[in-house]
Amino acid sequence: MDDTLLIDLFKQLGDTLLVGLFKQLGSIAVQLAKQESKLLVGVDEEVQKLQGKLGFIKAMLDDAEERHAVKQRTEKLWLEQLQDKCYEMDDVLDTWSTARIKAEIEKD
């Protein structure tokens, strides 16, 4: 067999292998991007639900404070603890939102 023919055969084989490899890598990259996107969309939806629930809890706490309906010390303590948890949840949601915005900025 002629050396040139053998070299051409190896080049074609190498090109075919590289094209196949790049196609597989591209397919894997697309699948990973889709999975990440689905995860982020799911998390964003959950964050929105939590924000809605937190808003509802805050409104109930504000109503209770305005009406001064809480007379027992145990109720007051419970409401104070609930208020503290609301602040903590609010901080977590703010941190998440800030991280998402920062990630979007860095991505661009």
What CA–CA distance (Å, rounded) separates 54 from 18?
A: 53
98 alpha-carbon distance from chain centroid: 12
Structure tokens at 40: 């982020």
Q: Does residue 98 have a pLDDT over 80? A: yes
pLDDT of residue 10: 66
Q: Are 64 and 79 in contact (CB under 8 A)?
A: yes
Q: Does residue 1 have a pLDDT over 80? A: no
The pLDDT of 79-103, averaged and rounded, is: 83
> pTM higher than 0.85, yes or no?
no
74 vs 68 pLDDT, higher one: 74
**Integer distance in angstroms from the first to the last C-alpha of the chain?**
53
Task: Count CB atoms within 10 A of the CB of residue 62.
Answer: 11
